[in-house]
Structure 1
Amino acid sequence: MSRRRRFIFRPWSVQHVSAYGGRPRGRSGHRLVCADGTLTSVGGYNPQSLPPLNPDPNNPDPNNPDPNNPNNPANANANANANNANPDNPNPDNANANAEAELQNPQLNLQQNTWSVESPIFRELWQFCFARRTWRPLTADLPDHLASSAAIRLDHILMVFGGTGSPFGRRCSNNLYIFDLSGKNNGFNLVPTQGQPPLPQYGQAIIYSNGYLYVIGGTDGLLYSIDVHRLNLSTLTWETVFTCTGNRADEPDARYRHELAFDGVNLYILAGGTAEVAYDFVDIPIFNIETFTWTFRKSVQDGKAGFPIARKCHSAVQIKKDNGIEVFIMGGFDNNKIFNDVWRLEIPSLQWTQMKKSFFPNPLYFHSSAVTPEGCMYTFGGIQAGRENPTRSNKLYKLWLCIPKLSEICWESLLYYFPDLVHQDKSKLLKSGIPLRFIDRLEF
């Protein structure tokens, strides 16, 4: 009789999340949004895609062990590999072996009409339930310009703006779409707007504040921008907030595939670049949404690791702490090297800290990350580096960025020791003393 391994809560440690049943195909250029019980992936790109895997629905992926799965004997090796990951040893061998095993899996589940060789953009939404560790497709036949779009979640509404089709830049979008994640309306609906919208572009970044959706930067494949526009979500009217000329000293360089941090007043532009260059994180461009002005502030380097290396096509999330905001960037590309590191930026001090225990098993770029309200970052897909040719991944990772409430840790422990509870009747779970807010996360 095998001995059950103990549950260990691992903050600041990257963990692979195994999944039951079918899953999305490997992709890049998609976007993620998170709630407390689910994440949603929209769009993406893969010019050499395969159908998603459809393994035994009663067993998680045997080729991708979950660090907290007591039934998987491969965990010892998986944990050792994860703990030994560092910038000089990204350990690509295991990822390549897993990818090869996945490609040879004969059980495939092809979703029709969401991808084609002629137009390799994924016109689909997928949702993942954290408690059930299960993916499901939400809708298909979306617009075909969902590569490097921008996405945000407001309550139960998913908002998707911009993006490109394939070939990149030939068909760009400046449309805003919404999707009701509550399940009341399954349509991916175009929002009719008025006024002068941003130019059709991709690789832009968006943020919401006080009834406005702000759009910053992007490219049409030839020209780059760092212009700022906003949409009044009450009147659905666009407004040009700031147009950069490229000739003023107080303007940042135009860019795409940058990320944003936001403190309620200031938008912090976190690197990005163009086809030829990636920008650094030393002097951070900041846009004030009250005065409509740009400034630059020099950030503070890590005492040992210095500044993050210049990059684009990375991901970023932020969490609120008692002493301010903490922003985390992960991965990315500088036109030469792909990264697997994680850095923390504290706002307002702009202090950088390299998260020395938080290296991903493989370098990634064109991936996407999102964070739950409780502070757990999930990262999905992207182009991952290997010993030979880079491949597009469909792996999902989690990383706790803080110590959450004890109830969150207890919930993870309960799911670890009693995985079948996800199939129990809601009334039975309530009688057993599980809080309703956790039981509601099982609805999927």
Structure 2
Amino acid sequence: MPTPGLTPTFLTGIPEAVLTALAEAGLPLPHAGLPPGFPTAVPAADPGTAPGEPVPAEAQAAALAEAPAPPEPRIPHGPSGLGTATLSLARRPEAPAAPPEPEVAAPTEAQDPPVAAGGTGRPIPGLYYHPIPEPDPTRVAEVSRRIKQWAVEEVELYPPEWEDQFDGFSVARYMVGCHPDAPTVEHLMIATRLMVAENVVDDVYCEDHGGSPVGLGGRLLLAHTALDPVHTTAEYTPAWLESLGADAPRRAYASAMRYFLEGATASQADRFRHDMARLHMGYLAEAAWSETDYTPEVHEYLAMRQFNNFRPCPTITDTIGGYELPADLHAQPALQRVIGLAGNATTLANDLYSYTKELKSPGKHMNLPVVISEREGLSDRDGYLKAIEVHNELMHAFEAASAEAAAALPIPTVLRFLRGVAVWVDGNHDWHMNNTYRYSLPDFW
């Protein structure tokens, strides 16, 4: 069983020869829990750097200057050298060996799934995941206090009768667990406000609190202008600005984005806007199927879920960590595949943990188990179990893609970003597993 902690999931099961080849990139500072000689994501800090403080850009540049430059073909064509033949970013003749399953991730039917350390929930039997340390309780308490103050006093996010639902969301534990490397509480608050705002838009426009597919496109477009400002004439600008306070979703988006822009670079902000547009397009596809009572094919549903998913969250992991993955590196296909697979796998984990909650809600609610059952003629139980297999395959693909990206781009900020995304994936699962206020498991075992 792997040691719970911040060890990046993308290292699991990587051959020793590959680790040696990566170490030859010349990046220093082995980390406790990593194989000896494996480079960590962050170059060594100056002695005066406080724990958790982001490494200055000059230090990163110095580390890069000292490291041997990789051969020119490596970035566009993938890694080369000892042990890297199986890490080609091109199509492989066979899939890489899957990492070993953690003992806690695959209980047998005769066992009760173990309770997570520090949590009250139980993992889905057979689901592939990595446990995390208990989120820092001091930070959880402070983020919880601040986010409720923001929701109530700054943006008037919910009426008094929704207070228990807001508290039950446990968003502070969620974000602290997903971003343990955040240098300050304010960095955590950037992610927390955005997470709350995105969920308010989903609930109020799409689902639980009066949401409807009818007219959704217009509502989403106007809300999106709180993230991506309208450049219009002087006559119509005041009306647009006033519209940003018209409802809770737009107030939340506008306020959360203002805070985000204080801590993000221009390229990070543009990246986030792009991923939010992807999210809104996914909302619209699901709404269109709902309006026509269409159950998509499984491959169609998975395509929709690549857009209607968690992608905006891991894509800002560098902002919350207090550093920047440069735009040209973020745009590399290897990095885009890692981020895409992270969003897809974690969103299917949401489908699985929220399954019983969604079945209790009014009307038909699409999720992967339901779509598999209907389209492939399976029982509810078998459809759910097959959805677990789909999730696990995507998780293994995510870890393999992360290893490939680390080998192809052995750059401190890339490695740190990969680690941050891996930790976010694990923290996202931990929150779903432990949020028993919202979720419960079906009786399939």
Higher relative contact order (CA 8 A, sep 6+): 2
- Asked if these proteins are the same fold (TM beyond 0.5), I'd say no
Normalized per residue, the structure richer in helix is 2
Bigger share in strand: 1
